[in-house]
Amino acid sequence: MNDRRVVVTGLGTVNPVGGDVESTWRGLLDGVSGIGPITAIDASDLPSQIAGEITDFDVEAFMPRRQARRMDRYGQLFWVAAGEALDDSGIAYEPDDPAAYRAGVVVGSGIGGVATFEEELTTLLEIGPHRLSPFGIPKIIANMAGGQVSIDFNLYGPNTTAVTACAASANAIGDAAAIIARGSADVMVAGGADAAITRFAMGGFAQARALSTRNDDPQGASRPFDAGRDGFVMAEGAAALVLEEREHALMRGANVYAEVIGYGMSADGYHVTLPRPGGGGAARAMQSALDDAGIVAEKVSYLNAHGTSTAANDVTETMAIKTVFGDHAYRVPISSTKSMTGHLLGGAGAIEAVASVLAIRDRVVPPTINLTDPDPECDLDYVPGEARSVDVQYAMSNSFGFGGHNVVLLFRSP
């Protein structure tokens, strides 16, 4: 990071475990699984019939129906998370407020409006182009979640989108922090969302052999680092953080959760879906984040793992951690909150950043549930079963995406 320091002053989320930050955090600490049988679509002929659905989400509790109909579900979810984060931060701008020109948005999404895409394509093929919605394209494109938040919350500063698969919202947070650090903004809303529990997405990921098919045991299906894991569990949701230049935050008396001190990236350059064997790419991203922060690995007191519950990821991530942390790899508490939330795709990095920040705030780390038969190759301390009190001063959050995108964030206690 540059000379301008960046802090977290607001948090927001909606996901399968909770409809806001505090209910989500309680659920994570209690080891609550948000996974169940799919109800949103007919999944009877799909190999994977389980997912992390948000079953009680009523968008009209947050916005008028007319506005909601112009947004895909992924955009609605991000809008709600961003609104919670801004409320939490105490930041609100009136139209043309001069300060609003120094506030922006970075959103991450892996797929964007895939539900709308399916609906519009069905209309095109079954009825014809004359029945396509004029809002179809704006609902589909991945940048529109950030665009809509900018419009509705009067954020006129930098506005961009990361589309780096499962690393997207971690990229969004890192990019937003860099924007503030270099002086281009004072406040940024950063995070991500996906809502890909659709027949096309579920079927496509299943054909890629990425999804769990433990259909008879939904809550036990996401089991990172366990010998019985058989793929990730699709989930929907969003999370957002308000990032702020430190002096700006202190001058207005803001509550500071944590400081963003490190951002590392690398490319595996290996395969469209598989991580590079040995975890060399992930290790380089982790080391880059440590170098950016100017600290050694031994300082890290909690690591929120990417931990997808896939055969390849969990082993290679373990190897990467050992490469970077050395002997400290066996001492640092590591957990995968995907064991409870499922995999939010482009929203995963943001909700895991929220969990990392809250671990710093409350000095407690969430567990990895369903870890009953550890893979012998995954032999680190993954905090199995129950949350643990830990004096978290430095927290690392890993996010790795299809295509070999590796992103790592580092947070420090304020």
Tokens of 92: 């609100």
Mean pLDDT per block of 10 residues along the chain (414 residues) reads 86 98 98 98 98 96 95 98 98 97 98 97 97 97 98 98 98 98 98 98 97 98 98 98 98 98 97 94 98 98 98 98 98 98 98 98 98 98 98 98 97 97
DSSP of 367-386: -BTT-SSB-TT--S---BSS
> Is-same-fold flag (6-251; 263-412)?
yes
Among residues 198, 204, 240, the alpha carbon closest in space to that of 73 is found at 198
pLDDT at position 363 is 98
* Active-site annotation holds for 166: yes
Out of 130, 271, 306, 328, which one is annotated catalytic?
306
CATH top-level class of 263-412 = alpha beta
343 is catalytic: yes
pLDDT of residue 3: 77
Pairwise CA distance, residues 247 & 194, whole Å? 33
Q: Where are the alpha helices (DSSP H) in 73-126?
A: 73-89, 114-126
Contact residues for 200 (Cβ-Cβ < 8 A; gap 6+): 114, 117, 118
**Residue position matching structure tokens 């944590």:** 258
Q: Which CATH architecture has domain 6-251?
A: 3-Layer(aba) Sandwich (3.40)
Out of 166, 248, 378, 405, pick the active-site residue.
166
pLDDT of residue 400: 98
List 130, 248, 271, 343, catalytic entry: 343
Instruction: Give the residue among 11, 88, 90 at the shortest CA–CA distance from 248.
Output: 90
pLDDT at residue 320, as a whole number: 98
- The structural domains of the chain, with segments of one domain joined by +, span 6-251, 263-412
**Alpha-carbon gap, residue 72 to 68, rounded angstroms:** 8
16 by DSSP, 3-state: which? coil
Query: How far, in Å, are 57, 69, 164, 243, 264 from residue 281 at the CA level?
Result: 38, 41, 15, 27, 11
378 an active-site residue? Answer: no
Spatial CA neighbour of 399 closest among 295, 299, 296, 303: 303
Nearest to 401 by CA among 303, 313, 291, 277: 313
Residue 1: per-residue pLDDT: 45
Q: Select from 8, 15, 117 the least CA-distant residue to 72.
A: 117
pLDDT digits (tens, 9 = 90+) for 301-355: 999 999 999 999 999 999 999 999 999 999 999 999 999 999 999 999 999 999 9
Which amino acid would we find at residue 342? G
pTM above 0.85, yes or no: yes
Task: Tally Cβ neighbours within 10 Å of residue 114.
Answer: 24
Helix axes 199-207, 114-126, angle to 10 degrees: 110
Helix (H) or strand (E) holding 340: helix 338-341
Paired strand residues for 160: 106
